[in-house]
Amino acid sequence: ELAHLVEHPPQNMAALMLEFLAFAHKEAGVAYGRSNLVRQLLPTYFVERRTGQLNPRQDIGDLMRLGRPFARPKPSPHPLAPDSDTLARFLAKLLNYDPIRPYPAVALFTLIPTWLRFLQARSLLKPDEANATLADLASLKDDLLAFFASFAGDEGLATAVAHFTESRNQAQNNDDLYMAAYAWRALGSALLRQGDTAAGHKAIQQASQQFAALGLTTEQAKTQQLLAAS
């Protein structure tokens, strides 16, 4: 069955992603709005990886002058499992190209464990393959956390604020507190940096309440620190 999926990726991937939506909602309680972001992005990632669009780019002139061979990307451990090298480049595209898409990037990265569980349930992935994938992707976590921790001070601040309303509405229309909490905190930080203290405090308090409702005490504490520091 896995060989058939790989041989006919577009149509089979579309059907597989629809099954994933139901699995994520039933087995992991994931809001459809959040898993739908993954349904849109994950097939794109796999296509770009398969076609070499996520391979490292090298300067042809330097290669010719120095006589070095082209670097080959690490082989993927599994055709339906992400790898850290190419996923890092895919997420970088979401986070650096205009318009930046931070909340879909968060949804994609944080739902990969659920995706791997789904593949195991469908007998498309072995437990040792899932564990190897998670261990490989763990190297991306610190960089992503650092990026989002300083998100409000990024050069793309204006773009982030401009697209915040759309991201927030998408999250709340789907009753997805997880995405909305991060969105409120990003907006609050941005408003504080712009000098709008009252509105910034209000947004950060909203984020704190939603983190509390989710039971994310560490994130709630970080959010409260923003209030104390301002």
Residue-wise pLDDT tens digits, 4-37: 555 545 668 888 999 999 998 888 888 888 888 8
Instruction: Give, as one character, the DSSP assignment of residue 55.
Output: S
pLDDT digits (tens, 9 = 90+) for 61-85: 555 555 555 555 556 568 899 999 9
**Tokens representing residue 34 in the block:** 């959040």
- Number of Cβ atoms within 10 Å of the Cβ of 142: 9
Q: 21, 31 in Cβ contact below 8 A?
A: no
Nearest Cα neighbor of 17 from 76, 80, 79 is 80
pTM for the full model?
0.61
Nearest Cα neighbor of 40 from 104, 91, 103 is 104
Confidence (pLDDT) at 199: 84
Burial (CB < 10 A; 0-12, 13-18, 19+), residue 223, is buried
Q: 38, 111 in Cβ contact below 8 A?
A: yes
The fraction of the chain above a pLDDT of 90, given in percent, is 18
- Across the range 191-196, mean pLDDT stands at 79
Minimum mean pLDDT range among 110-119, 130-139, 207-216:
207-216
